[in-house]
Structure 1
Amino acid sequence: MSYDDVFERMRKRALRIMRDIMSDFDEMEAWMRSMVDDLEEEMRPEQLFEERLKELRSGVLSPLISVHDRGDHLVIVVDLSGSDPRTVDVRLTRDRIAVRAQIRSEALRKAYGQVSWARKVSYYSGEQVLPEPVDPRTAKSELKGGVLIITVRKASS
């Protein structure tokens, strides 16, 4: 076998490898595009914007609620910044949490200044389905700096 044959085989093999790599890149690009399309489909920025405008017009803000699974219990964190701690009302059932709290007017003035629509905002109100059933009787809550933290045991099956 001559050197030319060896180099020709190496060249053909390198071309096959490059074709395979390019094919993999094409598949990854198609996958990434479909992911981006799915995200755009789910997020719908114009819908989110409309929801926020609706909140402001109605005077009710949805609090940010996040739920963290810690094995045998859930930790639920609710952002109620600027709320009056005496007005926080939590309704915890086996499968959902609902929260409502009055927003202090001085907190609104500080956050929004003299914006006219801000004077209409008066409370937080929101609800979220929990990822797993819980036993509401085991709930313990703590409100610190406008953040409500609730620890609750999962319901036994």
Structure 2
Amino acid sequence: MPPTASKSPAAVPDAPTLRQRLLDKLPPALADSYSEEQIEGIRILLGDRTWGKHSIDSRGSFAIPFFRWRFYWVFLFGRNRRAYSRTERHLSLVMMLAMGAGFILLCLLLGLFGLYLLKSWLGIDLLPGSSLGLWDWVNS
């Protein structure tokens, strides 16, 4: 398509934020004069971030006294709406499995610790003459 050919902004399916931010605010004759390539270029330039709505979006900057630099901080929290690549899907699965295994292991260790303390509190001695010392540590 030659760059001078014009397309209506409605013909660009991938530009909802661009239309909302720019093209809908322009007079219709001017908005209709942009070609599809021009609209795509503007979308890339503006960074069409339809995923950029976060539950928590906290940003700020600060300066340290006696230094000429300014620093910024960003804290974003919200549901991930991006499409994962194959590598990200595999890493996400591995991390989810590792977190699940870690949670189960932590629960198991806390449960065994609680059962050991209960056994010691009731005075049950399963292996005479041996102790982990946990009951003495908790009592002290």
Shorter chain as denominator, the TM-score bin is under 0.3
TM-score (norm 1): 0.24
Structure in which a larger fraction of residues adopt strand: 1
TM-score (norm 2): 0.27
